[in-house]
Structure 1
Amino acid sequence: MRRVGMFDGEEQVELKFRIFDGTDIGHGNYTSSTAIATLKQKLLDEWPQDKSVAPKSVDDIKLIHAGRVLDDEATLAESRIPIGDVSGVVTMHVVVQPGNNRKNTDKNLRESQTCFCAIL
């Protein structure tokens, strides 16, 4: 990201978000106090209608930066997004993981990790 100016005394950063097929959405300037949940809502609102994979809610969206899934309650600054003089725009990756599939996967994982022990 690069510093793009100040908004009410707060630095702004320039971000874009890359979805599964390489399309970039949500390009814009954001303040360092912007919550990850707010970004996810913006992406949901702007999601391209012609895509075969689309989130149904913000819970279906995961934002990834520097190999880490970002916490919804954290801000950009709290998420250790570099703010300052960095050349270019930083790209965050967006993963769509529908909630129902995630629950089934978690359930299957728990069932597969069940251990039956016998003491002799």
Structure 2
Amino acid sequence: MSVRVGGDQIPEVDTLEVKFRLFDGTDIGPIRCSTTSTVGMIKARILAEWPKDKNVVPKVVSDIKLISAGKILENSLTIGQCRQPLGELPGGAITMHVVVQPSLAKSKTEKSADGMPKKSNCSCSIL
């Protein structure tokens, strides 16, 4: 049996169902991906399917970080290399987390109108 993905026939054995959890808990997908698709290719697809109603929107593929099993995935790895065989449910989708992290060069040059560096609105509390 095979599945049609983007005009290509891919044997179902060589595909995985992956959903991508965004920072606010919403998901993109599940998307059926070939195990030979690279992380870079998947990031481009996530960028294309990014919900338009979000406050934080990546501008380029390099702004997106994919995390699976606690590891940031490298663009050159294939999805098949990134999956963890333990903990997968038969017929279930693999969940990868998506983090938007704008490039460092851009954020270093950002300054507010008065010349002071831009301040972060984040705070953490450890109880």
TM (norm. structure 2) is: 0.68
> Unaligned stretches of 5+ in structure 1?
105-120
Partner Cα separation in structure 1 for residue 64 and residue 23 of structure 2:
12
Task: Give the length in aligned residue pairs.
Answer: 100
Give CA deviations for 1:48-103 in whole Å, capped at 9, x if unaligned.
011000100000000000000000011012224439x7332111000000114676
For CA contacts below 8 A with separation 6 or more, give which structure has more relative contact order.
1
Contact 1:15/1:27, CA 8 A, preserved across alignment: yes
Alignment of 1:68-83 (within 5 A): 68-82=71-85
1:97 aligned partner, one-letter code: Q
Please name the residue that 2:95 is paired with: 91
Q: CA deviation at 1:10?
A: 5.2
TM-score by length of 1: 0.72
**Greater C-alpha radius of gyration:** 1
Write the distance in 2 (CA, Å) between the matches of 1:61 and 1:67. 15
> Counterpart in 2 of 1:57?
60
* RMSD of aligned alpha carbons: 2.6
Identity of counterpart residues, as a percentage?
A: 42
Matched residues in 2 for 1:65 and 1:47: separation? 19
Structure 2 unaligned segments of length 5 or more: list them. Answer: 4-9, 109-127
CA contact (8 A) 1:5 1:11 kept: no
What is the distance in 2 between the residues matched to 1:65 and 1:102?
26
Which structure 1 residue ranges, 4+ long, deviate > 3 Å from structure 2?
Answer: 80-83, 100-104
